[in-house]
Amino acid sequence: MTARLGRVTCDITISADGFSAGLNQTEERPFGDDAGDGWGAKLHAWLVETPEENRAEVDQLAAARAFVMGRNMFGPVRGEWDRPWNGWWGEDPPFHAPVFVLTHHARAPQPMDGGTTYHFVTDGIESALAQARAAAGDGDVAVQGGATTINQYLAAGLIDELRLHIAPLTLGAGTRLFEGVPPLELEQVKSRAAKLVTHVTYRVLS
């Protein structure tokens, strides 16, 4: 059997108490009650306010050759695709690679500027990952999120490397990383504290 070369990685920003978003998420406040404006400004301040201090981590976010994300991360549209929606990121999304979006409702692939094409996968997380691996070749596949999608992949034992970006605030409730995930054995690969975040990378052993 040929060993696959690329890893399945995951980057996610969470609060110190483990939440990636607060309660009451809406289209106007996609991160819900997030201790700020509802757009994740405090959670993701490290990306916006101090990008140079975190350049290695910022660059790492875009290094994968294919991406997987849940429909909740892709956008607020639920049920059938009853209106145009091509993600939160405008006409030139930051991925510049194939993105496989988990959904229960079929939709034709959506090419965007800059090399991103959204593919909509209706037959589960394993199928989405298989398609992403095929697209990535020997490169990495990044499971983007949100936390609910990442939890499904963690529970299924499909993540090789978990990269947490821990913001110095608590949310108290919301969408929580590791919710419903069986106990994991993790090996800490590296960690680094910055002004607005602590970066911790784990290899997932089991």
pLDDT values of the chain reduced to their tens digit, one per residue, 206 residues:
344 569 999 999 999 999 999 999 999 999 999 999 999 999 999 999 999 999 999 999 989 999 999 999 999 888 999 889 999 999 999 999 999 999 999 999 999 999 999 999 999 999 999 999 999 999 999 999 899 999 999 999 999 999 999 999 999 999 999 999 999 999 999 999 999 999 999 999 98
Q: Are 13 and 73 in contact (CB under 8 A)?
A: no
Q: What is the pLDDT of residue 206?
A: 80
pTM above 0.75, yes or no: yes
Q: Are 148 and 12 in contact (CB under 8 A)?
A: no
Q: What is the pLDDT of residue 176?
A: 97
Q: What is the pLDDT of residue 1?
A: 37
| Distance separating alpha carbons of residues 74 and 71, to the nearest angstrom | 5
| Distance separating alpha carbons of residues 206 and 204, to the nearest angstrom | 6
How far is C-alpha 98 from the geometric centre of its chain's CA atoms?
14
| Distance separating alpha carbons of residues 38 and 171, to the nearest angstrom | 12
Q: What is the pLDDT of residue 2?
A: 41
Quote the Cα angle for 57-61-62, to 5°. 130
Torsion of the alpha carbons at 56, 128, 166 and 85, rounded to the nearest 10 = 90
Q: What is the pLDDT of residue 4?
A: 53
